[in-house]
């Protein structure tokens, strides 16, 4: 049986499943993916109609991203995850994606390597807290400045306007000619820093310091940052962030012009890059 399209009615089942895995995934993210690339967001159901496995994906310009591959714990070992993953990969290929990205756990790497994916970096999840005395970071729902589109394309080798318009519209962005960072609200008393791109260390330090001061001291901050960017790691350590986990960044297809030295924070927590 072919996977079916992931629809909005499936979101509560996905969220429940993701919570058991301690994933940071929100409803807005799934709604965005389902609307933006519906043929790449798929679900496997039992005969009763119960949703038991999911995958999401998103096409950018010349590239795509596979995220949120999850199988219910009582249904693992039956090949459902591989089936959904291959369906999402084919959907991106059919849509013209030359490069496909994903982040993989150490357990998942073998599956992706089997199908031609190569590791290019490690993405570390850093956790810290705000350094301000009052909350000024809010969802201001302003469209992103045109400055950010070419800046964001530099580390990835591709333009990602649709993703940026969505995630930057959720929060407050700090933008300079040499970089930008977005403060996204992410659940109760929590913010994500990202997307975060900077052309040099001075710009990155300034952006991180300004973002840090905009969030209250008792508010958690998450940022997914490439381990190969040593400057990013040092700046985060200096701001009392700690590494709470990691996944491997992998790609399939055309080798991307990936420049991790410019990338300080991903736009989402694993689902879109």
36 within some domain: yes
Q: CATH number for the domain including 183?
A: 3.40.630.90
How many structural domains does the chain have? 2
User: Which of the residue ranges 25-34, 68-77, 107-116, 240-249 would you say has the lowest mean pLDDT?
Assistant: 68-77
**Same structural domain for residues 59 and 160?**
no
User: Which of the residue ranges 54-58, 215-219, 232-236 would you say has the lowest mean pLDDT?
Assistant: 215-219
**Same structural domain for residues 170 and 234?**
yes
Token pair for residue 179?
């970089």
Domain region containing 27: 4-97
**Same structural domain for residues 131 and 261?**
yes
> Which pLDDT score is estimated for 142?
56
> Which pLDDT score is estimated for 143?
58
**Same structural domain for residues 134 and 221?**
yes
Main-chain phi, psi angles of 93, to 5 degrees? -60, -45
203 within some domain: yes
**Same structural domain for residues 152 and 190?**
yes
Given a cut of 90, is residue 254 above it in pLDDT? yes
The most confident of the ranges 10-24, 47-61, 82-96, 211-225 is: 82-96
The mean pLDDT value for 184-197 works out to: 91
The mean pLDDT value for 211-237 works out to: 95
**Same structural domain for residues 238 and 136?**
yes
> Which pLDDT score is estimated for 166?
93
**Same structural domain for residues 83 and 213?**
no
Instruction: Tell me the pLDDT tens digit for each residue of 118-173.
Output: 999 999 999 999 987 654 444 444 556 778 999 999 999 999 999 999 999 988 99
**Same structural domain for residues 260 and 158?**
yes
């Amino acid at each position: 049986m072919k996977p079916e399209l992931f629809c909005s009615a499936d979101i509560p089942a996905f969220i429940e499943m993701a919570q058991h895995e301690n994933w940071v995934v929100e409803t807005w993210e799934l709604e965005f993916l389902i609307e933006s690339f519906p043929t790449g967001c798929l679900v496997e159901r039992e005969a009763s109609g119960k949703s038991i496995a999911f995958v999401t994906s998103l096409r950018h310009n010349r590239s795509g991203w596979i995220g949120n591959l999850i199988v219910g714990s009582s249904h693992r070992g039956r090949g459902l995850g591989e089936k959904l993953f291959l369906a999402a990969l084919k959907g991106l290929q059919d849509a013209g994606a030359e490069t496909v990205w994903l982040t993989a756990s150490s357990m998942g790497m073998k599956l992706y390597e089997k199908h031609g994916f190569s590791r290019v970096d490690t993405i570390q999840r850093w956790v810290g807290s705000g350094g301000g005395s009052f909350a000024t970071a809010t969802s201001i729902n302003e469209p992103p400045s045109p400055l950010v589109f070419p800046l964001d394309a530099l580390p990835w080798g591709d333009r990602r306007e649709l993703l940026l318009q969505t995630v930057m519209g959720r929060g407050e962005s700090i933008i300079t000619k040499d970089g930008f960072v977005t403060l996204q609200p992410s659940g109760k008393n929590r913010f994500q820093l990202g997307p975060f791109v900077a052309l040099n260390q001075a710009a990155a330090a300034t952006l991180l310091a300004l973002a840090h001061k905009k969030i209250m001291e008792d508010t958690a901050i998450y940022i997914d940052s490439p381990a190969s960017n040593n400057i990013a790691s040092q700046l985060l350590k200096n701001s009392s962030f700690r590494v709470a986990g990691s996944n491997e960044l992998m790609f399939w297809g055309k080798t991307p012009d990936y420049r991790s030295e410019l990338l300080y924070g991903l736009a989402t927590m694993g689902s879109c890059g």
